[in-house]
């Protein structure tokens, strides 16, 4: 073995001994990645079947005009409509009604609001117009009632 090789081995040995004495250490790290796929459902409800009247193009309201009244006696004109939850999440429904002029008023809507409608189900609501005894001053009057459905999510309910 040559002197040069011996000197190189001795220097390497001395360096190794020196590093061990100085507290050579190692640090290991590990990294993990997680992935979660989230799918948000479809949320929608609409009026699908009124007993009569006209559904708005967006499916959120329906207008009903009472038929011609042929007597001065108090009476009513019942009306119903069906709301369908066409989404895949439960919805809380509220129904608002347009104001009516005297002598007309809205019949109590049944079932009561708010109403929870589970996904892909329907509910029929009954209401309509009513009026007291009519006089000659009421000739030519008519009453139109518009029901508007609002759907909100059930979060926090």
Phi and psi at residue 104, in whole multiples of 5°? -90, 150
- How many domains, the chain? 1
**HSE (CB half, 13 Å, CA atoms) of 56?**
11
Instruction: Decide if 140 is inside a domain.
Output: yes
DSSP 114: S
Residue 81: pLDDT band (50, 70, 90) is: very high
Evaluate whether 82 touches 46 at the Cβ level (below 8 Å). Answer: no
Q: Is the dihedral of CA 64, 65, 66, 68 positive or negative?
A: negative
Write down the pLDDT at residue 50.
94
Is residue 19 helix, strand or coil? helix
Write down the pLDDT at residue 26.
66
Residue 14: pLDDT band (50, 70, 90) is: low
Instruction: Decide if 32 is inside a domain.
Output: no
Instruction: Decide if 132 is inside a domain.
Output: yes
Instruction: Decide if 95 is inside a domain.
Output: yes
Interval 91-117: pLDDT, tens: 899 999 999 888 889 999 999 888 999
Please spell the DSSP secondary structure of 51-82, one letter per residue: SSSEE-TTSSEEEEEPPPP--SS-EEEEEEEE
Q: Using CA atoms, how far apart are residues 56 and 62, in angstroms rounded to an integer?
A: 6
Interval 21-72: pLDDT, tens: 555 566 777 777 777 777 667 778 999 999 999 999 999 999 998 888 888 9
Ranking 26-35, 82-91, 119-128, 144-153 by mean pLDDT, the lowest is 26-35
Instruction: Decide if 135 is inside a domain.
Output: yes
Write down the pLDDT at residue 13.
62
Instruction: Decide if 68 is inside a domain.
Output: yes
Prediction pTM value:
0.70
Phi and psi at residue 132, in whole multiples of 5°? -85, -175
Domain that holds residue 51: 45-153
Residue 83: pLDDT band (50, 70, 90) is: very high
Instruction: Decide if 56 is inside a domain.
Output: yes
Structure tokens at 27: 């640090």
C-alpha closest to that of 49 among 89, 92, 19, 80: 80
| Number of neighbours of residue 12 by Cβ within 10 angstroms | 10
Write down the pLDDT at residue 73.
93
Write down the pLDDT at residue 95.
92
């Amino acid at each position: 073995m040559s002197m040069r090789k011996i000197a190189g081995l001795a220097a390497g040995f001395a360096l190794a001994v020196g590093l061990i004495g100085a507290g050579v250490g190692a640090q290991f790290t590990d990294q993990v990645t997680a992935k979660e796929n989230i799918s948000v459902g479809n949320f929608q409800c609409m009026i699908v079947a009124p007993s009569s009247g006209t559904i708005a193009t967006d499916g959120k309201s329906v207008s009903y005009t009472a038929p011609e009244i042929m007597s001065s006696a108090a009476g009513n004109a019942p009306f119903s409509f069906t709301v369908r939850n066409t989404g895949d999440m439960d919805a809380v429904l509220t129904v608002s009604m347009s104001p009516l002029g005297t002598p007309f008023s809205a019949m109590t809507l049944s079932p009561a609001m708010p109403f929870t409608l589970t996904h892909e189900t329907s509910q029929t609501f009954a209401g309509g117009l009513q009026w007291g005894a009519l006089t000659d001053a009421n000739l030519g009057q008519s009453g139109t009632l518009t029901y508007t459905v609002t759907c909100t999510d059930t979060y926090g309910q």
